[in-house]
Amino acid sequence: MEVRFLKRLFSSATAWSRRADFFLVALAVLGIGLHALSEGTKRMSPQPHLQEKMAAATRTVRCFEAIRLARIGTPSTMDQENDPSASGLIGQEFTLTTTDRGVLEAKLTSVNPNFAAVFVEYFAKLGLKPGDPIALSLTGSFPALNIAALAAAEEMRLRAIPITSVGASMWGANDPYFCWLDMERLLNDKGLLASRSVAASLGGSNDRGRGLSPRGRSLLREAIVRNDVELISGPTLDEAIAKRIEIYDREAKPDRIRAYVNLGGGAASTGTSQNIKILKPGINRVLKPYNYTQHGALHHYGLRGTPIIHVLQIQDIAQMHGLPVSPETVPPVGEGEIFYRESYDLRITIPALLVYLVLCFGVLRARHRAVRVAREAASSAPRAVAGIASQTLREGSSG
């Protein structure tokens, strides 16, 4: 019966429309089969530099735990609504050293040790080698990201040169008695991080704590003194920026800065808040020559060809790398597409796709040819009928 069906199907007497229905159904079934075959090859593939990423994230989570233990019982860790995991890395809404508005969701998103893997990927993409000096512009606004960046740099054996703006936006490290510099020293004393800020400024507007009360500015200066860090203080923002550049270049000698990492929106680093919107989150290999309202240290290095790593739109960066936004708990190490990503066996999927495309092309081409033949037959039939009729009339008239 099947043989008889196929003979009738491929017979020239069978209309193309009947054959087309069969071919389309066959293609659909074949497509489902090839799709299932391709899906069967799907695997979770490790991403490049997996070992360094796991090591950096593991070091970061150990730093998080040290901060959490040091902060137990403080107002920030007792606020289960705003810091549900009691990480100690989420500050209060308002303190004497709070410089700007902050978005709580961004701060919660940043408390993820797997951001260290993101920094490893950035450093690797820039081709940084062990011993390369990199400038880090840190702020008190994102202490968790500060830790992740330093951990990644140390796992990649880079020479990190951090300078900190001590003031913090809402929900950052805005406890005047346990600011980012205090966290940094704690981690250094415990042997978890070797890098410490080589200098610090008050931060805030104009990098001089403008907008804070005199008491708030005094508390920031006390934090810088008790942590034995060089104070950057100048009468103008331009002088504060020039001082930062001088310190970065001094610490990088005999080499030059190989990458500039900007965390947050510190005025001395980014210039103004308007500049932040122009920069692309993540790697900026070339700084576009816009008419910036105020050049910061970032622009100085970017315009002389140093690649920039700009980290501020935290939720966007998290989504780009498969990390959760505003998680209720601190995610475990190794979670996210930055470590493993779904992939297919191209040795199977590509040939399957090519075979399917060739078959689809063959069916469409045959259908086009059949339609053309049918049109030619339809157009020639009236001419043949007309010719027979005229011949009949001529014979009748001659008879």
Give the burial string for 374-383 (b: 16+ CB within 10 Å, else e). Answer: eeeeeeeeee
* Mean pLDDT for the stretch of residues 137-153: 97
Domain residue extents for the chain: 14-40+348-392, 50-342
With a cut of 70, say whether residue 3 has pLDDT above it. no
pLDDT (0 to 100) of residue 176: 93
Quote the mean pLDDT of the chain: 84
pLDDT (0 to 100) of residue 294: 77
Higher-confidence residue: 328 or 386?
328
pLDDT (0 to 100) of residue 145: 97
Higher-confidence residue: 339 or 371?
339
- Sign of the alpha-carbon torsion through 334, 337, 339, 341: positive
Higher-confidence residue: 60 or 274?
60
pLDDT (0 to 100) of residue 81: 87
Q: Which residues partner with 246 through β-bridges?
A: none
Range with the poorest average pLDDT among 57-66, 86-95, 259-268, 348-357: 348-357
pLDDT (0 to 100) of residue 41: 63
From 91, 64, 117, 26, select the one nearest 362 (Cα to Cα). 26
Higher-confidence residue: 381 or 271?
271
DSSP assignment letter at 324: P
Q: How confident is the model at residue 381 (pLDDT cuts 50, 70, 90)?
A: low
Q: Which residues, other chains included, contact 169 with Cβ-Cβ below 8 Å and sequence gap of 6+? A: 98, 99, 100, 101, 102, 139, 141, 264
pLDDT (0 to 100) of residue 391: 55
pLDDT (0 to 100) of residue 27: 72
Cβ–Cβ < 8 Å for 200, 166: yes
pLDDT (0 to 100) of residue 399: 46
* Mean pLDDT for the stretch of residues 350-361: 74
**What secondary structure, in 3-state letters, does 58-92 show?**
HHHHHHHHHHHHHHCCCCCCCCCCCCCCCCCCCCC
Cβ–Cβ < 8 Å for 201, 125: no
* Mean pLDDT for the stretch of residues 121-129: 97
With a cut of 50, say whether residue 396 has pLDDT above it. no
pLDDT (0 to 100) of residue 312: 87
* Mean pLDDT for the stretch of residues 223-246: 93
Spatial separation of the C-alpha atoms in residues 30 and 25, rounded to whole Å: 9
Q: Characterize the bridge pairing of strands 308-311 and 259-263.
A: parallel
